[in-house]
Structure 1
Amino acid sequence: MKKTNRRKQKNPRAAEKAGMTIHLDEDCVRVLKMLKLRLDLEAGEFSPVFSLPALARHAIRKWCDHVAAPLPRPWENQTDSEV
């Protein structure tokens, strides 16, 4: 059997997760709890129930989608006569 030069990882499952840990302040946690309470009260009988971590991930993902709009690339829109 041929030996490979792969670096050993401390946690083999760490390679499966590509992410980061975010620490939220008290105000952010309080607002998330209020949002969760409002969603739970307004939700219908068959609505999914969010945990606080899932709600935080969803809120961060939506914020990133909103803020990270594609940047304009004017050089891609140039015709040959403009170059």
Structure 2
Amino acid sequence: MPTCNLLLSGAIHFSGCLATQTLRMMTLFGLQCISASTFFRHQRRYTIPVIIQAWQNEQAKNFSDLKAMDGGLVVAGDCR
């Protein structure tokens, strides 16, 4: 797989743009780009698993930091 194809898929996904509109715009400008099905395949196989892994790593780090606090953690709320 060409690296630029995966980078383009990641850039579209991580920017929050709609893939079909972005790819259609690139086609209208005469740029060569990936198809929508390729984008969704990259999303399913690569970008979403990376996001999930990064979230799990960050969550584990936060939990370990909270467990290591000297005074403990006090959680309070106003019943909402």
- TM-score calculated relative to the size of structure 1: 0.32
Higher fraction of helix = 2
From the CA coordinates, give the structure whose radius of gyration is larger: 1
